[in-house]
Structure 1
Amino acid sequence: MATTVSLVAGGAGFLGSHLCESLLDAGNEVVCVDNFGSGRRTNISHLVDDHRFQSIEADIRDAVTLPPAEEVYHLASRASPADFTDFPVDIALTNTRGTRNLLDYAVATDARMVYASTSEVYGDPEVSPQPETYNGNVNIRGPRGCYDESKRFGETLTVAYRDEYDVDIRTARIFNTYGPRMRPDDGRVIPTFVSQALHDEDLTVYGDGSQTRSFCYVTDLVNGLRSLMETDGLAGEVINLGRENERTIHSLADMVIDMCDANSTVVYEKLPEDDPLQRRPDTRKAADLLSWQADTTLQSGLELTIESFRGDLFAE
């Protein structure tokens, strides 16, 4: 039986590198495409000696020639809130022009494609939990608009390509995901809290800490992405991927301080503009169509994440 070739755009990123690793473990050949803007070479350094792995340094916003593949995972975009201010044009064009380039590639090679959208398309939701049918509450001109709205347009583009070119495209709306290989300066809450706690620094909570998030461990999320790709009959579907373990940011801070055995306290700063007050996925569609659910508890996932961060931050 022929080996499946999987192309992972953004393959050197946090999520992309775990996906590359999982695909290799499954026996696939993997082509990692990354411009290393936010992806890190160290994330894939343990994969480069595998003859089934190829790393291509390229920017999907450009017209680049890529080897043929049967599967395309589009994970290429800066996703850190810390980057929304510094790289808004980069983000907006990656999710629009870059998405078009990968869709053209999928049409030309007759590849199946998974587009990594985001829970951010729901904005600051007025409905909870958020089902795939909810159209969201997004400020297109706000500081998060470069990411939120470009992801939304990326979804629109995938629908247009499906209708006009009959491309098999599936969309994953990814909720907060965490685990090893996240950048300590990522700006998302778990790497920020863990880094601060391991340094015995005060943990920064924005607002009063009553806002909620739902956290999915990276290996569960990767399994969901692969199920979405590998399940037949799902062309055109959009599916939430995340874990329904909603908790307040304040309770997360207390949990991280305790697990890191840190001499830290919580300090409060002003809530950023358009920061969502509630985020929880409705995952019934994923359960029905993919027979998938996220099983890793927050306690177990944080233990693995803290252990990894401790090794990275204090390596000799």
Structure 2
Amino acid sequence: MATGLLALLDDVSALVKASAASLDDVPTQVAKTTSKVSGVVIDDTAVTPKYVVGLDPSRELSIIWQITKKSLLNKVILLSPAALLLGYFAPWAIPPILMLGGGFLCYEGYEKVHSMFSKSHADAENISEEQVMTPAELEKERVNSAVRTDLILSAEIMAITYATVAEKPIVNQIAVMLAVAVFITLAVYGFVGLIVKADDIGLHMAKEKHHPQVRKFGFGIVKFMPRFLKILSYVGTAAMLWVGAEIIAHGIPATSHALDALEHSLAGVPALGWIAKVLVSAISGVIIGWLIDKVVRLVLRVLGK
């Protein structure tokens, strides 16, 4: 009896040591995963500030916090368990789901590009929409819209995270996915909060009570932020197209190999290879988004009839 108990304790001790050694590798796996989802993170960071444009400045941080909470809950409560269950019971379903999400990003990106070239029409639609909404309704609509987009991006992040740790023990998978969910959500929306309040920080620094150099820097921030937000919106659209098309490409062996071959052909200048890959992906994203838009319009026309 005593011998059996000692053997059991030895097994438990060995299991605990193995788990501890495995968990020691979690920070490395988190760092590795974060680098792989950087494109989606850029997209998420660049897209979100637009949802507070035109709203009461005193509500900006509250709106960002609402989006942050829902994004974190989606990642931790919905998407992480879903990725783990799919990975265990139906791993074959993950690539198609990723590709559907990539298609959605291409479609959204194409719509933004299209609106840039038909700006007056888009502005008229936005104005008419805002005129019939109360501030509270508009805020709720903006938050819901941001959460919908974030849900797709978060799904991509958690699916990529799972793919990175799929061969690891289940304890590692859970630890890495939770760590990535919390770290990326807080990092993205913390930075977004800083962006949307940067002009207020600049105005505070520009007050008479501060040193002339501080005031000058504050005025510079105030002047720069509108241009920065405009540039950021373009970056967000480009990242949406690039990430969406690359996700779709990696789901198809032929296009995945073609993208890798393109990057390897310019391996002598790594930055050039990366830029070429991004440009090809972004242009492909516009084409994919245009095709999806045509299909959506056709379906709506048929349903309308």
Q: Which has the higher contact order (CA 8 A, sep 6+)?
A: 2
Q: For this structure pair, what is the TM-score category when the shorter chain's length is used for normalisation?
A: under 0.3
Larger radius of gyration: 2
TM-score by length of 2: 0.24
Higher helix proportion, which one? 2
TM-score by length of 1: 0.23
